[in-house]
Amino acid sequence: MLPSLTTETHPETLIIRDQVIQAMDLDDLDMVKRLLSVLETKIGFGNSDINRQFILSQKAKVFLKQGKPPMEICPLLNEGLSLTFNDFDENNLEGKILLFEESEILHSKR
């Protein structure tokens, strides 16, 4: 298995993630898609659950902004949450600590 790209070993991934968030804030969905494609092609980036979750959550946000139906968005959100939240139950979050991406995904589902 290839090592996961982390911000410590590959700071450009952190820069690209930040650019994705900025482009999303500006509703530049074409740029978001291009940047996500760059992240997906980086060797090993998708091997990290948190990195894969980031990609899925951002794709779901693009779908949401494009007005896609929930049946297309929810599978991405569920897959993203299941990566770091094995026993995910949105109705029972007591005692759970959510990472940034998890809370963002959960907020998108509501």
The mean pLDDT of 83-98, rounded to a whole number, is: 65
Helix or strand or coil: residue 3?
coil
What is the distance between the alpha carbons of residues 102 and 41, in angstroms, rounded to a whole number? 23
Provide the H-helix boundaries in the chain: 11-25, 29-41, 49-65, 70-84, 100-109
Own/partner pairs for 24-29, CB < 8 Å, 24+ apart?
24/58, 24/61, 24/62, 24/65, 27/65, 29/62, 29/65, 29/66
Q: Is the pLDDT of residue 87 over 80?
A: no
Q: Pick the residue with more confidence: 1 or 64? A: 64
Q: Provide the pLDDT for residue 6.
A: 45
Note the pLDDT tens digit of each residue in 15-72: 999 999 999 999 999 999 999 999 888 866 767 788 888 899 899 999 999 999 989 9
- Count CB atoms within 10 A of the CB of residue 78: 16
What pTM did the predictor assign? Answer: 0.73
